[in-house]
Amino acid sequence: MLQLANPLNASPLIFPMIECFHIAGFVMAIGTCALIDFRLLNLAMAHQTSAQITKDTGPWTLAGLILVICSGLLIYSTDPDMYYLNLPFLLKMGFLVLAIVFHYTVLRKVALSSEPPGKSKLAACVSLALWVAVVFGGIFIGFTSPNLSF
């Protein structure tokens, strides 16, 4: 069987370097999403409307998501079997899909319109909780032994 070595595994330095791009990407993506959430909760940027912040940060959120997903795929490729069997990784992927879908559907709709505050605050809390869950999942990947079964 043809065995192709992943060039990313050629040097032990490449992995942490890709992770730096991964960090830059999630700071851009999650941080800007969180700012919209904080605006909806009236905790930041009171002079601007949530719609204005959503439009202004939109390209940065998208660029961050592209960077974080591309670097994430490279990270995944270094050891796919380990990730595939890793419970925190699987949970993280689930929360990530939920967080992105929620951000571009419910949260976006709420942030761009002027919905009643109760509803928009609930949406902001759900969004924040989903993103926090994604980060926790990411960290716990590295702290879970592949042999450990839950």
Partner 1 sequence: MLLWLARWAENTEFFTYIRASAYTYPVILSLHMVAIALFGAMILLTDVRLLGWAMRSCSVSDVVDQLRVPKRIGFLFAATCGVLLLGSKAEDYYYNIFFRIKVTLFMLVIVHALVFRKSVYSRAAALDRDPQIPGRAKLAAVLSLILWVSIFSAGRGIGFILAPGGLHYGVP
Give contact residues for partner 1 (rule: CB under 8 A): 12, 15-16, 19-20, 23-24, 26-28, 30-32, 34-35, 38, 43-48, 52, 55-57, 59-60, 78-79, 82, 131-132, 135-136, 138-140, 142-147
Smallest gap from Cβ 117 to partner 1, in A, equals 19
Contact status, residue 97 vs residue 25, Cβ threshold 8 Å: no
The nearer residue to partner 1, 54 or 120, going by C-beta atoms, is 54
CA atoms of 106 and 123, how far apart (whole Å): 7
For residue 121, give Cα distances in angstroms to 51, 107, 108, 117, 131: 14, 10, 13, 6, 15
Smallest gap from Cβ 98 to partner 1, in A, equals 17
